[in-house]
Amino acid sequence: MSKSKGTAVRSVRDSGCNTPALDRALAVLEFVSVRPQGVTQAEIRAGLGLTANLVFRVAKSLESHGYLEREPATKRYRLTSKLLSLAQPRSEQRSLVQVAHEPLACLRDATGESAHLGMRTGLECIVLDRVIGPHPYKCYVEVGTRGPLHTGAPGKVMLAWLPKDELRQTLDKLKLTRHTATTITSRAEFEKHLQLVRRRGYAMDLGEGVEGHHCLGSPIFDAEDKPIASVWITAPAARLSERDGKRLAPHVIKTGQTITEALR
């Protein structure tokens, strides 16, 4: 790694396939993806060591194809959800988001709480869709938000049903970082908790990611019974205790099953 005017510069990885333009475009996407606050063309140039003309052309091309969007006021580029839409499981011509939207609305109506859809990306869960609940005081998470797998109900259910070897390999990489007083940070305790999740058929987090923000989730499976996504509701702690979770869990589980069946 080299230095340029005091700034660390990441090298563009050569795929070895004689496709320099593609390698640089992918490097730009990866560079932008880890900076949710957005980046300017100047920051991309400094970060990747590319010329101004090249960054301008690559960024404009990615923007025209819908993979980047540029904030007019700040001139900062951010990723759009287009890459996620390409990666989503599909039922015939409908994506996961399209298949799940109506069941999410039904879940919102049945529980009175905001309902969400998400899938795993690496060691994080990313929100793909959400339907906001009717309460004046509500909890919900914006589409595109990412969160660690170990602190939230959606991440837990996507881990709990993994094959043993894959779960072990994932936990070897997953840092159980503490976010609140209730975050599980012990590997042994977390593995025991995932066993409970699997026995119950649902997961809860009681302010493990954000204090006062509780979630209740269930898994969505593909045709090979692998957990590929999750559905969950969010609510303030006063409306979603352990007792409330037991009462509302059948609605969340049923929604996960409905989406699973629609994808097969």
What are the pLDDT digits (tens) for 130-164?
Answer: 999 999 998 998 888 889 999 999 999 999 999 99
Distance separating alpha carbons of residues 161 and 142, to the nearest angstrom = 26
How far is C-alpha 82 from the geometric centre of its chain's CA atoms? 14
Q: What is the pLDDT of residues 1-57, one digit of tens each?
A: 333 334 455 667 777 787 888 889 989 988 887 786 789 999 999 999 999 999 999
The percentage of residues in the chain with a pLDDT greater than 90, rounded to a whole number, is: 62
Whether residue 116 sits in one domain with residue 232 = yes
* 3-state helix, strand and coil shares in percent for the chain, rounded to the nearest 5: 45, 20, 35
* pLDDT band, residue 81 (cuts 50/70/90): low
Q: Of 70-74, 103-107, 178-182, 206-210, where does mean pLDDT reach its minimum?
A: 70-74
Please, is 11 exposed, middle or buried when counting C-beta atoms within 10 Å of its C-beta (0-12, 13-18, 19+)? Answer: exposed
DSSP state of 203: E
Distance separating alpha carbons of residues 216 and 190, to the nearest angstrom = 17
Residue 129's DSSP bridge partners are 117
Whether residue 131 sits in one domain with residue 175 = yes
Mean pLDDT value across residues 193-204 = 98
Whether residue 90 sits in one domain with residue 41 = no
Whether residue 259 sits in one domain with residue 139 = yes
Whether residue 92 sits in one domain with residue 70 = no
Whether residue 90 sits in one domain with residue 76 = no
Whether residue 235 sits in one domain with residue 165 = yes
Q: What was the pLDDT predicted at 4?
A: 37
Q: What was the pLDDT predicted at 247?
A: 97
What Å distances lie between residue 10 and 59, 62, 193, CA to CA? Answer: 17, 20, 39
What is the tally of structural domains in the chain? 2
Buried b (16+ CB within 10 A) or exposed e, 187-212: eeebeebbeebbebbbbbbbbbbbee
For residue 261, pLDDT over 90 is answered with: yes
Q: What was the pLDDT predicted at 33?
A: 77
Mean pLDDT value across residues 56-71 = 89
DSSP state of 47: H
Cite the DSSP H helix spans in the chain: 20-33, 41-48, 52-64, 82-87, 96-111, 153-160, 164-173, 187-200, 242-263
DSSP state of 239: G
- Quote the domain boundaries for residue 33: 2-80
Mean pLDDT over the full length of the chain: 89
Whether residue 29 sits in one domain with residue 148 = no
- Looking up tokens 């970082």, which residue turns up? 177
